[in-house]
Homo-oligomer: A and B are copies of this chain.
Amino acid sequence: MKEPRWKEAEFEEIEYKPTSIKELLVEMKNISELMVYLAYSAILFNNSDIAEEVRYLEVHIEKLNYQMRIMAMLAARTKEDAEKLSGILQMAEAAKMISGAAGDIVKLLSVKLKHPLLPRLLKESDEMIRKMVVEGESPAVGRSLPELHVASETGVRIVALRRGKRWMYNPKNITLEKGDVAIGVGPEEGLEHLDKFLKGKIRVLE
């Protein structure tokens, strides 16, 4: 049996990418906010794929936090440096707390509900959420979301796009690559259609 992806992540080596502390912090804040959105979505739509992304991101945030502490300690030369950096570490701690709460939320899903909440909760009762992977055979590879008219053809909004370990929050100008993971929100048939297109099972998105 293949381990779920978030569990693999836990045992990977920490990578030291040449990022700045500022970049790291902005990334942690953005990811934790995305996690809140995804965690609520996982519960609303009773969707364990989305829950898995949240657990993966929780591990990812832990790593970023570790990397942040190392960078902060290396950067501190004077007492004033250290005081400034303690603010940074506070913020990183904050992101970890939000991330932890989002992770706890998706644990609630371990009891599979018979009745997804969304249709009764929200007006747009035909909306669903879905995780989709861009396959190598798809005509989407090498093209951007606006170029494909995803929104107008399917009614689906792509709320986040992941390439490897990197989440992209403004996926509009990004050219799709094989292996990209897209999280879409929209009508069920639009999602179904888009999923087939991203898998390369259909050649035209209309």
Residues in chain A within 8 A of chain B (CB atoms):
22, 25-26, 29, 32-33, 36, 39-40, 43-44, 46, 83-84, 86-88, 90-91, 93-94, 97-98, 100-102, 104-105, 108-109, 111, 113-117, 120-121
Contacts and interface: CB of A to CB of B under 8 A. Distances in A.
A94 B39 contact: yes
Instruction: Give the dominant DSSP class at A's interface.
Output: helix
A108 B94 CA distance: 8
A97 B91 contact: no
A22 B98 contact: no
B121 A25 contact: yes
Contacts of A90: 43, 108-109, 113
A115 B84 contact: yes
B114 A83 contact: yes
Given A25-B121, A46-B87, A87-B117, 10 more contacts: A40-B91, A43-B90, A88-B117, A91-B117, A94-B105, A97-B101, A98-B98, A98-B101, A98-B105, A100-B101
Nearest to A100: B101
A17 to B, nearest CB: 19
Nearest to A99: B101
The 3 closest A-B pairs by CB, nearest first: A101-B101, A94-B105, A97-B101
A40 B36 contact: no
Nearest to A83: B114
B108 A36 contact: no
Contacts of A36: 32-33, 36, 98
Given A36-B98, A100-B101, A101-B101, A26 B113 contact: no
* Max chain B C-beta neighbours (<10 A), residue from A83, A101, A121: A101
Contacts of A25: 121
Contacts of A98: 36, 98, 101-102, 105
